[in-house]
Amino acid sequence: MRILIIEDDSLLGEGLRAGLSQHGFTADWLQEGRLALHAFQHEQFDAAVLDLGLPDMDGKDLLIEYRNRGGSIPILVLTARNGIGHKLVCLEGGADDYLIKPVDLRELAARLHILLRRREGRSTSVIRIADVELNPHAHKVSLGSEQVDLSPREFKVLHALLRSSGRVMSKEQLEQHVYGWETDVDSNAIQVHVHNIRRKLGHNVIQTIRGIGYIIDQKDQ
């Protein structure tokens, strides 16, 4: 799951980026509102963590502008402003959750999982297709009754494909999900991850759609 953090404080922004990465998210970080609006237009994120006091614009205005443009991903406001007035303006302006700093990273991660599963219309975060079960909270994958060890990146590839099961994901989309703005990504990295997932979970778990990308299709399991 790819999260955009919008936070101007360097220490906190880097802390959130590192912390959410440790919780299994692909976390990208920007310090200015205008840059975030640009990123939302050009790249796919699953959710955003938004500070309100930004140098170039107020986070509330960013939120309202993003929603006015039709942006639909869950946005969690993370701020030091704890007045009910601020909170209501954000919730009515399209925020999905509102947390006061300082935040415990475990709670932030849990709340992001909740927002994402609600958006996908699931009552639990665990995803099951045929014999494969993935638990994003516990970071575990099993095949039947056997637990399977995936690397963190293999886990992200499998999670992205399971979440969009029935829809093809291109190599580029998967790269964005797994690596975000990390640089030095091997051009065949996704192929290698898919190869390893198939080796561990069975060849049929992921289909290749030649020239387009990869799909996990419930029908084919």
- Residue number of the CB closest to Ca ion reads 53
* Cα 39 to chain centroid, rounded: 14
What is the closest distance, in whole angstroms, from the C-beta atom of residue 54 to Ca ion in the complex?
6
When the beta carbons of 78 and 216 are compared against Ca ion, the nearer one is: 78
Q: What ranges in 164-210 are assigned the alpha helix state H?
A: 171-179, 189-201
When the beta carbons of 53 and 166 are compared against Ca ion, the nearer one is: 53
When the beta carbons of 35 and 215 are compared against Ca ion, the nearer one is: 35
Largest CA distance in the chain: 54
What is the closest distance, in whole angstroms, from the C-beta atom of residue 79 to Ca ion in the complex?
8
What is the closest distance, in whole angstroms, from the C-beta atom of residue 8 to Ca ion in the complex?
5
Return the beta strands (E) in the chain as ranges: 2-6, 26-30, 47-50, 75-79, 97-100, 127-129, 132-135, 140-143, 146-148, 207-209, 213-215
What is the closest distance, in whole angstroms, from the C-beta atom of residue 9 to Ca ion in the complex?
5
- Six-digit token pair at 93? 């302006």
Let me know: does 63 contact 93? Beta carbons within 8 Å.
yes
When the beta carbons of 8 and 43 are compared against Ca ion, the nearer one is: 8
What is the closest distance, in whole angstroms, from the C-beta atom of residue 109 to Ca ion in the complex?
21
Let me know: does 111 contact 76? Beta carbons within 8 Å.
yes
The Cα-based distances of 160 to 13, 132, 176 in angstroms read 25, 14, 10
Number of H helices, E strands in the chain: 8, 11
Burial of 34 from C-beta contacts in 10 A (0-12 / 13-18 / 19+):
middle
When the beta carbons of 33 and 213 are compared against Ca ion, the nearer one is: 33
When the beta carbons of 51 and 154 are compared against Ca ion, the nearer one is: 51
What is the closest distance, in whole angstroms, from the C-beta atom of residue 62 to Ca ion in the complex?
12
In the complex, the residues that contact Ca ion under the rule CB under 5 A are 8, 51, 53
